[in-house]
A and B are shown apart, each in its own frame.
Chain A
Amino acid sequence: QKEVEQDPGPLSVPEGAIVSLNCTYSNSAFQYFMWYRQYSRKGPELLMYTYSSGNKEDGRFTAQVDKSSKYISLFIRDSQPSDSATYLCALADKAAGNKLTFGGGTRVLVKP
């Protein structure tokens, strides 16, 4: 079983729709939860960073963490064609030091 599971997609939505992304994980020690966005031929860039369970909102982006279910989500409201990219979840626990465990990424296509 992979430590972090993420549907590879592609997830295709019309412009203006809500994009819903998620990851599940098996290691209950994970405490830090991140979402990265990666455009084609580019490196990943950090979008959202949350610690422990709860919600965090930043503009059109909302990250949710449910540690009891080992499930994290990213929602993109009012999606734009420029949101078309691969979204990677990444998790870490303090005991493992400076080490991120990534999901495989979900490719998102927002059609005009």
Chain B
Amino acid sequence: ETGVTQTPRHLVMGMTNKKSLKCEQHLGHNAMYWYKQSAKKPLELMFVYNFKEQTENNSVPSRFSPECPNSSHLFLHLHTLQPEDSALYLCASSQDGVGGLNTEAFFGQGTRLTVV
């Protein structure tokens, strides 16, 4: 148990579907992140939230829509995805928020997404 829980673990969706990924952290952290991990590519940072506020959007297409209702929960809403969006989506959290650098990020198990 890493303290960061992601659901679902696996998801298959059609290009016209709408689905959501959920992340919950039990570590009392202030910062939460979405990363994308594709085969043979480095982890790509998608979004950063500090104290529920989005502080970074790494040029992510609008078909990915994050939501952070509180410091413990993070969602990634998906709609009209493309097959090339198939990847492992990882959620992470770390202690510090705005103005602080804490690089000890704790990752969830990830959601394996397949777009058909």
Binding site for B on A (CB under 8 A): 2, 4, 6, 8, 32, 34, 36, 41-46, 49, 88, 90, 92, 94, 97-105
> Using Cβ atoms and an 8 Å threshold, which residues of chain A touch B103?
32, 34, 49, 90, 92, 98, 100
Q: 10 smallest A-B Cβ distances: which pairs?
A: A43-B107, A102-B43, A102-B42, A104-B42, A92-B103, A32-B103, A44-B107, A94-B101, A43-B109, A43-B108
What separation, in Å, do the CA atoms of A17 and B66 have in the docked complex? 44
Binding site for A on B (CB under 8 A): 2, 4, 6, 31, 33, 40-43, 45, 48, 50, 55-56, 90, 92, 94, 96, 100-110, 112
Residue from the list A4, A43, A45 in contact with B42, Cβ < 8 A = A4
B57 CB, min distance to chain A CBs, angstroms: 12
- B45-A100 in contact (CB<8A): yes
- B4-A43 in contact (CB<8A): yes
Q: Considering the complex, give the chain B residue whose CB is closest to the CB of A94.
A: B101
What separation, in Å, do the CA atoms of A102 and B107 have in the docked complex? 14
Q: Considering the complex, give the chain B residue whose CB is closest to the CB of A5.
A: B42
